[in-house]
Each structure stands twice: as structure tokens, then as C-alpha cells.
Structure 1
Amino acid sequence: MELPRASLPVLPRRRVLRLLAAAPAAAALAACGSGDEEPDQLLALATAAKADAALANAIARAHSGIARPARELAAARTAHATALQREIDRVTPRDPDEPPSVPDPAPGKPPSSAGAAEDALRSAMRQGQEQSAKLVPSLPSHRAGLVASVSASCASLQEVLG
């Protein structure tokens, strides 16, 4: 008595061997990607943090009445830039001899009055908080935590400025 044959298609042996031989090449091509990589989403945040720190340091030098909160803000934003740069470098390692992917900002002039300087710092913190908060939902959880803490810190720094 003859058993019924399965109705599955049968691939010729040579075709199967060709497919197996091509698999490593296909995997290598898939790993390479398209080459149209977008810049890291954290670059803009790190650049803004460095710029805010530079502004705060310039204001601290120019306006002694608000130097202390300006220095605190500069220290916090420098820490933000450092943490963001570390995360950027973790995802996309760079040669240690190369400069950081987030350049130092060009030196700028602080506002001429202390009131305008305080307003500039508040505005910078509000922008930093909003920019960070907008980005959080689109990030993987480990990065979202970092960016959310930057956002919360910027919000608290606004309170320090009053």
C-alpha cells in the first residue's frame, strides 16, 4: 500500500544550496544599511546644553549680581552636555583622537543688563526643557530616561532663576 505524498512543493537540491550559499552575503548587506544614517537625535540637545553653559558662564563674568545662579546653571548644563555626549559616543563610538561630535559653541556676548541676562537664561532653560520633553516619547527607554532627566533639570533650573 502506497502512502499519500505531502502536497508541499519540493525545492531542487541545487536551488537550496544556492540559497544557503547566498545567505551570508545577504546578511552582510542587510547589516551595512543604506548609508543614509540620520544624525543622532541627542546631538541637538548636547549642542544646546553646551551653548547654554557658555551663555551662563559669560553672564556670570559680566553680571556679579546673578553670577552664583548663572554658575550653577552653567555647571548643570555642562553636566547635561557631558552625559549626552557619552550616550552619543556609546551608540556611535568615535576615535579618541577625534574631537567630540558636539563642538564647543562660538563665544558670544552676554546681554548688557542683568534683567536681560536673567531673561536670556530663563528662555534658554525653557527651550532646553521643551526640546528635551518633545524628544522623550520617540526614544528607547534607556535614552528616554536620560533625556527626561535633562528636561526635568532644565525645568528646575528655571525655578532657581525665579
Structure 2
Amino acid sequence: MLRAGALAALAAPLLASCFGETEPPAPDPLAELAAQARSDAATATAIASAHADLAAAATLIAQARQEHAVALQQEVDRERPPTSSTAPSPTGATPPSAPPSAKEAEQALTQALTSAEQQAAGLVPTVPAYRAGLLGSVAAGCASLREVLS
């Protein structure tokens, strides 16, 4: 009887650790970048529709940022396969509207690209090499897209 009590006392912490609550993993930092790229693409599409003089550049930016969003989301999904409750889904949110003037629209695109470049570049030293390559490509792509607006 004494042995059974001793074994139970030793086994209790082990069983608790097996069935205890585990903290969920931290959000993938690339998920936020993917969401921002989708938002940037939608904004650029709205600007292309509203401002004929920016249409070519904004369309190029929209296409590139959509490609960034896809690549980033694929990496997020590869690292952490989505479950039905965590998969990104289209939102019912109103699509972004273009700023009223072409100058404001150009500034909005420039600001979005600068922010995306800085966010991606800032994550490069914190992730494994294969992810750093993707982030470096996104950052460089955003920098080159800003030149399209110049």
C-alpha cells in the first residue's frame, strides 16, 4: 500500500504535465505582413480606379503587393498549417477608398510601401534564413515599387 501511494505521488506531476494547459504559440509575425500586403493591394487598386494619372503605377503596386501577400501567407501556412478557425477569410469590410487627390493618393502609396519595407526589414534578423530571404525580397520589392511612383 505504501508503494502504491509513493508511486501515485510521483506520477501525479507527470500526469499533470501531460494534460496541463499549454500556452498557444505566439502569432506568426509574417501573418501581419501578409494582411498588410492584402490591404495595400486593395488600396492601390482603389487608387488605380480613382486616379487615371496614377493608374499604371498603382496597378503595378497592387499586383506586386498581392504577390507579396500570397507568398507571405503561404509561408505562414507552411509553418503553421491553418485550421478551419484560423485560416484567413475574406472580411465583409468595406474596400478602401482612394484619397481624393492624386497627390494624397501618391503619398498614401509611398507611406504604405515605406512602412511595409521597414516592417519586413526589421524582422529579417529575427527569423530563420529561409524566412529572412522572403522578407528581404518583400522589403526590396517595396523599395523598388516606391521608385515606380517617382
Q: Counterpart in 2 of 1:141?
A: 129
Q: Deviations over 1:8-33 (max 9, x none)?
A: xxxxxxxxxx9xxx8xx79x94xx98
Q: Counterpart in 2 of 1:13?
A: none
Aligned-pair CA distance for 1:43: 1.1
Task: Give the TM-score of the pair, scaled to structure 1.
Answer: 0.75
- RMSD (Å) for aligned C-alpha atoms: 2.5
- Taking structure 1 as reference, are residues 136 and 33 closer, same or farther at Cα in structure 2, changes over 3 Å only? farther
Q: Counterpart in 2 of 1:152?
A: 140
Aligned-pair CA distance for 1:35: 2.3
| Uncovered stretches (5+) of structure 1, i.e. residues with no partner | 1-17
Aligned-pair CA distance for 1:128: 0.5
Aligned-pair CA distance for 1:107: 1.1
Q: Counterpart in 2 of 1:108?
A: 96
Aligned AA for 2:146? Answer: Q
Q: Distance in 2 between matches of 1:151 and 1:35?
A: 32
Aligned AA for 1:113? Answer: S
Instruction: Give the aligned length.
Output: 138
Q: Deviations over 1:8-66 (max 9, x none)?
A: xxxxxxxxxx9xxx8xx79x94xx98323111110111111011000000000000111
Which is greater in Rg?
A: 1
